[in-house]
Amino acid sequence: MTALPRLQLFGDAIFRDENGEPVQLPKRAYVLALFLLHLNSQHECDRAKAADLLWPGSPTATVNLRQMLLRIRDAQARAPLFAITQDKIRLLCDEVDCDVCEFNRQIVNVTFQSALEIMDLFGAGPLVDCRRLDTEISEWIYLQDEQMRSALVGEICGLLSRPAANEAPEAAFAIAERLLQICPYEEVAWQVVFKHHAAGGHVHRLEQAYERCTNALRQELDVEPSEETRALYKRLRYPSQAVSKGGPAEVRTSERRPEAKSGIPRLVILPPADMLATQSPLAALAGLMLEDVTVGLCSLRSVSMVAPHTAWRLRETFLESEDSARHYQVDYVLDTSLLTFGEMNRLTVKLFDATSRTILLSDQHELTALSGEQCYRQITRSIILALADAIERAELSRYDEQDNPTAYFWFLQGQKHLRHMDLPRVRRAKKAFRRALDIAPDFAPALSGRSRALRHEWLLMGRGEADLLAEAEGCAVDATQIDRLDARGFREMGLCHLFRSRYDDSLACFDLAEQLSPQHADLILDFAETLVHSSHPDRALSKMDRAIALNPVPPENYWWTAATIYFQMGRYQECIEAVDKMNHPMPALRLAAASWALLGNKAKAEACAQQVLDVYPDFRIEKWLSLISIRSAEDKRHYEQGLRAAGFR
């Protein structure tokens, strides 16, 4: 029989003719082939859909596709792969031998004889050498990889859980070892490995395997091995010390609810069932958006996230069983689905408490294939903010009813008080963060929060209490040392550097913080403040506008920073308007007084100045200028001119 041309999509993609000789195709042709394989039973689509997949959002997508198809026509003269018409493209599946087609055939009936073969076939996953074409294609390939990997791991785990695995221990061990190369935290496979080492009398290997299992689960999922895994290990490692029924090793997971570290709530985002059942571009897009939501929530650090791979694999389990939520230490579940009404497609999200099943949030977001990237970014950000707010409110409500609130509760209380720029609230925030740290000394977000509260107190006290700023800097340093990926620590360190006139160090800290959390509106606002004190008002205004775009109903410290920027730029009326938007304008009234004076309205300038002096009767221009950090001497003279014109001495 004549060999068929071979299409290899797992690993590095390549197409060979019937003689085994490579056929040179563009990389995007392999992406198109994988797309058509899973699109429909005809394995075909129109040209517009193909162009949108391969060059999303590009105005030259149609031209690019036409050029690529001309290259494919020339290349496949020796071995046809696509049937190309005026408006359609079809993959000739029946005329080629394809590894993904073989994978799809084998995955429906994995046996002990075929398990190693299908895992070797899958290898490193699909289109490894096509993942650097551009970000959108890379994300799409990653989604295909996760879906196929999830199906493979699920089938292999089911195989290893059968009684037949005990009857063929050597085969089961080989399969488990190979599976752990694909999914290193799969406990079913680890249990097979434990049994194999114990049966051979290899105690040291058993101990090493358990340590590797524990490390994998901690690194990948931030959980400990399950009760079942721990009990099996104890029984195999200490066979003479069998644990009696009902003893410690037999404690059921359902009888306790483990807390995540520091009491930080844990969330799992379940993908739409439609996404797992179909390969439509819209379903793939919804999956990518939910991954962006996961990443965004991770950057907030106020919730702990279950990895997307685990969420995909355990979707139905999380919905049907509270035991899964307890085992993975999940407090909240976000269930999602795709709904279609004629031409309209909607992504629905429903947040519920994993224990009580109480629905905390329900919302819908319209999706269309023609929506631009900015639209999807807005939907993603909207979901992130809604989830963070709903979980915070739920946690506060829960802990209000408990006698022993956790560190996370006190952290939330501190955050709540810091929304106001008055001295009593700031001091309450400082106290709340201190209580959080008493419970969890290594809770980096609480250290960052306490640093911020101390610095705000220093500002509100007229910048005269040097110990407050020193303590704030110490807390910020500790936060960055505990968690190098939490932008908040670097943000607070940057502000402390600023107020000690270390301008370059401050800007370096904010550059790093913005890279770690580019959508954090409050952080970007503080970056703007640093830039204006470093005498870069134009860049500061750009950052401030971006911060307000991300947080269109901002707290009043935004307007304080805005007033500072406008004053430095000589835009005095806008400075006054910014101060007027503050509910507690006292910290910025000096700027309003100076602005009124430089606009020539001496009466309003003196009225503002008197309000300041009523609270701070010892205020002196020279002392104040010596305390504030302004890089440019010219900018300092500008402040001095305005303050003296307002009647300050």
**Residue whose tokens read 């949108």:** 52
At 71, which helix (H) or strand (E)?
Answer: helix 61-75
Q: 317-350 pLDDT, tens per residue?
A: 666 666 667 777 788 888 888 776 555 677 888 8
Mean pLDDT value of segment 418-440: 82
What's the N-to-C CA distance of the chain in angstroms? Answer: 100
Q: 21-64 pLDDT, tens per residue?
A: 999 999 999 999 998 887 777 888 999 889 988 887 788 889 99
Distance CA 179, CA 123 (A): 11
Q: Indicate the CATH number for domain 6-120.
A: 1.10.10
Q: 197-210 pLDDT, tens per residue?
A: 999 888 888 998 99
Higher pLDDT, 409 or 364: 364
Phi, psi of 77 (to 5 degrees): -60, -35
Here the tokens at position 627 are 């305390």
Q: What is the pLDDT of residue 318?
A: 67
Q: What is the pLDDT of residue 372?
A: 45
Higher pLDDT, 166 or 581: 581
Q: Would the CA dihedral through 152, 102, 277, 382 be positive or negative? A: positive
Please name the amino acid found at residue 445: P
- Per the CB < 8 A criterion, the answer to whether 456 and 418 are in contact is yes
3-state secondary structure of 168: coil
- Per the CB < 8 A criterion, the answer to whether 605 and 647 are in contact is yes
Closest CA to 459 of 507, 412, 427, 489: 427
3-state secondary structure of 617: coil
Beta bridge partners of 583: none
The region, left, alpha or beta by phi > 0 then psi within -120 to 50, assigned to residue 456 is alpha
Q: Which letter, b or e, does each residue of 101-122 get, where b requires 16 or more Cβ atoms within 10 Å of its Cβ?
A: bebeebbeebebeebbebbebb
Higher pLDDT, 474 or 520: 474
Distance CA 506, CA 515 (A): 14
Say if residue 496's pLDDT is above 90: yes
Question: Which residues fall within 8 angstroms of residue 326, CB to CB, at 6 or more apart?
Answer: 253, 254, 256, 257, 258
Question: What ranges make up the beta strands (E) of 279-413?
Answer: 304-305, 332-341, 344-353, 359-367
Total-model pTM: 0.43
* Radius of gyration of the chain, Cα coordinates, nearest whole angstrom: 30
* Longest distance between any two alpha carbons in the chain, whole Å: 101
Q: What is the pLDDT of residue 407?
A: 72
Say if residue 440's pLDDT is above 90: no
Higher pLDDT, 86 or 258: 86
476 by Cβ neighbours in 10 Å (0-12 / 13-18 / 19+) ranks as buried
Q: How many CA atoms lie within 13 A of 465 on its CB side?
A: 14
Q: Indicate the CATH number for domain 265-394.
A: 3.40.50.10070
Mean pLDDT value of segment 94-118: 89
Distance CA 567, CA 286 (A): 45
Q: Would the CA dihedral through 303, 304, 310, 316 be positive or negative? A: negative
Here the tokens at position 34 are 């994988």
Higher pLDDT, 376 or 415: 415
Question: Which residues fall within 8 angstroms of residue 10, CB to CB, at 6 or more apart?
Answer: 99, 100, 103, 121, 122, 123, 124, 125, 126
What DSSP state is assigned to residue 522? H
Higher pLDDT, 428 or 474: 474
Q: What is the pLDDT of residue 528?
A: 94
Q: What is the pLDDT of residue 535?
A: 92
Q: 218-266 pLDDT, tens per residue?
A: 766 666 788 788 889 988 988 865 444 333 333 333 333 333 344 577 8
Here the tokens at position 61 are 């997508």
**Residue whose tokens read 């059921």:** 252
- Per the CB < 8 A criterion, the answer to whether 259 and 329 are in contact is yes
Residue 519: other Cβ atoms inside 10 A = 18
Here the tokens at position 47 are 């040209």
Query: Distances from the Cα of 342 to the Cαs of 89, 273, 282, in angstroms?
Result: 25, 19, 14
Here the tokens at position 228 are 């079942």
Torsion of CA 158, 162, 166, 169, to 10 degrees: -30
Question: Which residues fall within 8 angstroms of residue 570, CB to CB, at 6 or more apart?
Answer: none
Distance CA 601, CA 592 (A): 11
Q: For the chain, how many residues are written?
A: 649
Higher pLDDT, 316 or 26: 26
Q: What is the pLDDT of residue 368?
A: 58
Phi, psi of 353 (to 5 degrees): -70, 130
Question: Which residues fall within 8 angstroms of residue 145, CB to CB, at 6 or more apart?
Answer: 125, 126
- Look over the chain and give the mean of its residue pLDDT values, rounded to a whole number: 81
